[in-house]
């Protein structure tokens, strides 16, 4: 059996050492007499996993003490629905900058619980660029301003997310967290579903300034209340222990590899290699995103003739390169090249693209 280079957008490839360690510990975790998913989340062994995971994540992302870390179930979408309930008063304005499918989703999730407004959107242009900062129409009394750091489907990424004066910025980092150093103090909160850079699907991370967590928000069940979740160490109910454990292994792997600065360099090289394969193909392959908005993590691209798509997918798979089919919203291809994708995988894709072009002309 051999593992392919997996370009899946998420659930995405996990680092092989993480899978091997999970495999080695599957039948019995340390000396607990059972696997990690067969023991209490309140027992010593799992609590050690949970605490170590938070400590390692704090080290990896340089999270300051005045920011809390929550591990939540329900994915990034659930966080999106809970943002206005936790951080806005009833009827208060919340601003959204919409640069792709996921920004739109975040807005939709917030709309029932706040006066959700679009401060800027690039939808009219097909989500191929970033909105000029000078043209954002923000509400001065907004509870927060929401942005999507990296749009996983449209392949649009902010290289530096603007601040918004006294209005805290909340950013969805689902598909780019830990891909480069990040100054968290520029944000009120950031969040991410785990299934791209942090581990398997089933858990999300919310990193929020502690003073924002003290906001009254709106009536909500305790389980949806981030203050209560923080007091309960993200264990108000049984947490997704397997996912938490896997997230811990993945974070540890990133630390062992040298941390986010090392990944930033690797990711920049990987993206440069792939975009130059596309741009250097004489129009055979095409990426439509403005150069300064191109994502380092998700690279959508199109063949000059869509009739070749099926052959591209079949032949790439045969060459050991899987999950390159684009999202149905855009069609074409998409290569997701998160932290766990080695540079050799991107090189193999670039080589394949060139060979395919020669073969099919």
Q: How far is the CB of 243 from ligand PMP (least distance, A)?
A: 11
Single residue of 63, 76, 203, 208 touching ligand PMP by CB under 6 A: 76
DSSP-derived 3-state class of residue 112: helix
d(CA 293, CA 303): 21
Cβ proximity to ligand PMP: between 95 and 172 the closer is 172
d(CA 6, CA 360): 24
Under rule CB under 6 A, residue 10 binds ligand PMP: yes
Q: How far is the CB of 355 from ligand PMP (least distance, A)?
A: 30
> How many of the other CB atoms lie within 10 Å of CB of 185?
12
Q: Which of 127, 193, 123 is nearest to 158 (CA)?
A: 127
Q: How far is the CB of 281 from ligand PMP (least distance, A)?
A: 27
Cβ proximity to ligand PMP: between 45 and 201 the closer is 201
Is 244 labeled as ligand-binding?
A: no
Is 238 labeled as ligand-binding?
A: yes
Gyration radius (Cα) of the chain, Å: 21
Q: How many residues bind ligand PMP (CB under 6 A)?
A: 11
Under rule CB under 6 A, residue 72 binds ligand PMP: no
Report residue 360 as tokens. 């099919």
Is 34 labeled as ligand-binding?
A: no
* Cβ 267 vs Cβ 339: under 8 Å: yes
Is 195 labeled as ligand-binding?
A: yes
Catalytic residues: 102, 172, 196
Is 237 labeled as ligand-binding?
A: yes
Name the percent of the chain in helix, strand, coil, to the closest 5. Answer: 40, 15, 40
What residues pair up with 68 in beta bridges, in sequence order? 208
Cβ proximity to ligand PMP: between 12 and 278 the closer is 12
Q: How far is the CB of 75 from ligand PMP (least distance, A)?
A: 3
Helix residue ranges per DSSP H, the chain: 16-25, 44-61, 75-87, 101-110, 210-213, 226-231, 241-256, 260-279, 309-318, 343-360
Is 152 labeled as ligand-binding?
A: yes
Cβ proximity to ligand PMP: between 84 and 193 the closer is 193
Cβ proximity to ligand PMP: between 119 and 303 the closer is 119
Under rule CB under 6 A, residue 203 binds ligand PMP: no
Give how far the C-alpha of residue 54 lies from the chain's centroid of Cα atoms, to the nearest Å: 18
- Show Cβ contacts of residue 290 under 8 Å, excluding neighbours closer than 6 positions: 128, 129, 130
Single residue of 15, 155, 188, 193 touching ligand PMP by CB under 6 A: 193
Single residue of 32, 77, 163, 347 touching ligand PMP by CB under 6 A: 77
Q: How far is the CB of 148 from ligand PMP (least distance, A)?
A: 6
- Show Cβ contacts of residue 240 under 8 Å, excluding neighbours closer than 6 positions: 73, 202, 203
Cβ proximity to ligand PMP: between 243 and 357 the closer is 243
What residues pair up with 300 in beta bridges, in sequence order? 334
End-to-end CA distance of the chain: 33
Opening angle at CA 73, ends 341 and 198, nearest 5: 15
Residue closest to ligand PMP when measured from CB atoms: 75
Single residue of 148, 179, 234, 357 touching ligand PMP by CB under 6 A: 148
Q: Strand pairing of 145-148 and 93-98?
A: parallel
**Site for ligand PMP, residues 85 to 114, rule: CB under 6 A:** 102
Query: Which residues are known binding-site members?
Result: 42, 76-77, 102, 152, 172, 195, 237-238
Question: For binding to ligand PMP (CB under 6 A), which residues are involved?
Answer: 10, 75-77, 102, 148, 152, 172, 174-175, 193
Give the residue ranges of the annotated binding site for L-glutamate.
42
Specify binding-site residues for pyridoxal 5'-phosphate: 76-77, 102, 152, 172, 195, 237-238
């Amino acid at each position: 059996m051999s593992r392919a280079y997996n370009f899946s957008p998420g659930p995405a490839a996990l680092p092989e050492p993480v899978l091997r360690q999970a495999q080695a510990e599957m039948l019995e975790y340390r000396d607990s007499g059972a696997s990690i998913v067969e023991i209490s989340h309140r027992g010593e062994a799992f609590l050690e996993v949970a605490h170590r995971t938070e400590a390692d994540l704090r080290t990896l992302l340089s999270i300051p003490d005045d920011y809390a870390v929550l591990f939540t179930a329900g994915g990034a979408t659930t966080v999106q629905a809970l943002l206005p309930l936790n951080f806005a008063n009833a009827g208060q304005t919340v601003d959204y900058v919409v640069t792709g499918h996921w920004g739109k989703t975040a807005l939709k999730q917030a709309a029932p619980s706040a006066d959700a407004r679009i401060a800027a959107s690039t939808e009219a242009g097909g989500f191929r660029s970033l909105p000029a900062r000078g043209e954002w129409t923000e509400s001065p009394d907004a509870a927060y301003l929401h942005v999507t750091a990296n749009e996983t489907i449209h392949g649009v990424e902010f290289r530096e997310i603007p601040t918004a004066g006294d209005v805290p910025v909340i950013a969805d980092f689902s598909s780019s967290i830990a891909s480069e150093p990040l100054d968290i103090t520029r944000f009120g909160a950031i969040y991410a579903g785990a299934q791209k850079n942090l581990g398997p699907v089933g858990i999300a991370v919310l990193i929020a300034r502690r003073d924002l967590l003290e906001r009254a928000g709106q009536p909500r069940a305790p389980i949806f209340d981030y203050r209560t979740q923080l007091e309960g160490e993200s264990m108000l109910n049984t947490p997704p222990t397997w996912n938490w454990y896997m997230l811990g292994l993945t974070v540890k792997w990133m630390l062992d590899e040298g941390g986010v600065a090392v990944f930033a360099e690797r990711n920049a090289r990987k993206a440069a290699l792939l975009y130059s394969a596309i741009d250097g193909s004489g129009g055979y392959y095409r990426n439509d995103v403005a150069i300064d908005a191109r994502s380092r993590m998700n690279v959508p691209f199109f063949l000059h003739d869509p009739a070749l798509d099926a052959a591209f997918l079949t032949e790439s798979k045969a060459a050991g390169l899987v999950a390159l089919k684009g999202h149905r919203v855009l069609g074409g291809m998409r290569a997701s090249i998160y932290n766990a994708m080695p540079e050799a995988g991107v090189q193999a894709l670039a080589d394949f693209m060139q060979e395919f072009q020669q073969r099919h002309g």
